Amino acid sequence: MGESLKSFRAGIELAIARLRELAEHNAVEVYLYTSLPTWRVIGLDDTLFVSAFGAEHEEHESGCTRSLPRHTVPCIEGSGGSSMECVLLRSVSFDGGGMAIEAELKARVRDAAAVRDTLEKRAPGEPSVYRDTYFDWPDGSLSADDRELRVRVVENQGGTHVLLTYKTAAVDRASDSKPEHETEVGSAEVLREVLVGLGLRELIAFEKHCVNHVFRAGGRELLATLVRVPELEETFLEVETPVCEEHELAEALDVVRTVLAELGITDADVTTERYTDAVRTRRG
């Protein structure tokens, strides 16, 4: 191994140690992925650490941490052979025990190729497959209260991750934006056994084939996702940005609407129909 590569790896190890130290004080977890086509080197001082991850770790005046949970931002391309490493920090909680509100709009896409090309110019897409399973009590009380409990298995180039998400009732009916709590767990199978053992039942399960694009617009970090559900004929576009407080929602949704318009999406294309309902209807 050449001295330059040894020095590089030593720097990576030092960075990882420093990032883990930062993680203990910033409600984040550190994941290491090997055999990726790209890697990221993060500066060791707090200022570079924050700037490298953009708005994902900006402190909000309410004390919570802005984040785009469950998604990554593109790594910086580099070289180092087939055993490259990427250091990814992912926010998993909010300071003070708060929760995120998804300021999100969903739309039917009439020209998927055009939207895809425009998104690629903003940020490279990350293909992912989501395997979603929703749970409810036997009396259907979660659905009746407009609440959701979901286990999501995400498969992408970074590997396989399992997310448990609980969403409360929508705080904005026009957009169907909901507060949510989300955390990563180790095993979907074990989690399912726990939920069923507690008396919950599987409500519906289906796949979403997604391409995620993370970029900034209107001073906010946004996630735009092109979605195909194999059981449905249409292509959908979801654009979202997390907010910490309900009073931020209107302003955040204005940014989302602006991005949709720039992508050629009209108000008539926007829908609040949920995938669960659409899949259930298709299955009859």
**Where are the chain's structural domains?**
3-96, 99-283
Q: What is the pLDDT of residues 228-245, one digit of tens each?
A: 999 999 999 999 999 988
Q: What is the mean pLDDT of residues 235-263?
A: 95
Instruction: Point out the least confidently predicted range of 34-48, 143-157, 250-264.
Output: 34-48
Given this model, what pLDDT does residue 100 score? 87
pLDDT at 59 over 50: no
Instruction: Point out the least confidently predicted range of 4-18, 45-59, 164-178, 267-281.
Output: 45-59
Q: What is the pLDDT of residues 168-189, one digit of tens each?
A: 999 999 999 999 999 999 999 9
Q: Which fold has domain 99-283?
A: Hypothetical Protein Pfu-838710-001 (2.40.320)
Given this model, what pLDDT does residue 158 score? 87
- Looking at the chain, list the stretches that DSSP marks H as alpha helix, in order from N- to C-terminal side: 3-26, 46-52, 112-122, 141-144, 188-197, 249-262, 275-283
pTM beyond 0.85: the answer is no
Bridge partners for 162 per DSSP: 153, 185
**Residue 206 contacts by C-beta under 8 Å, 6 or more apart in sequence?**
132, 229, 231, 275, 276, 279
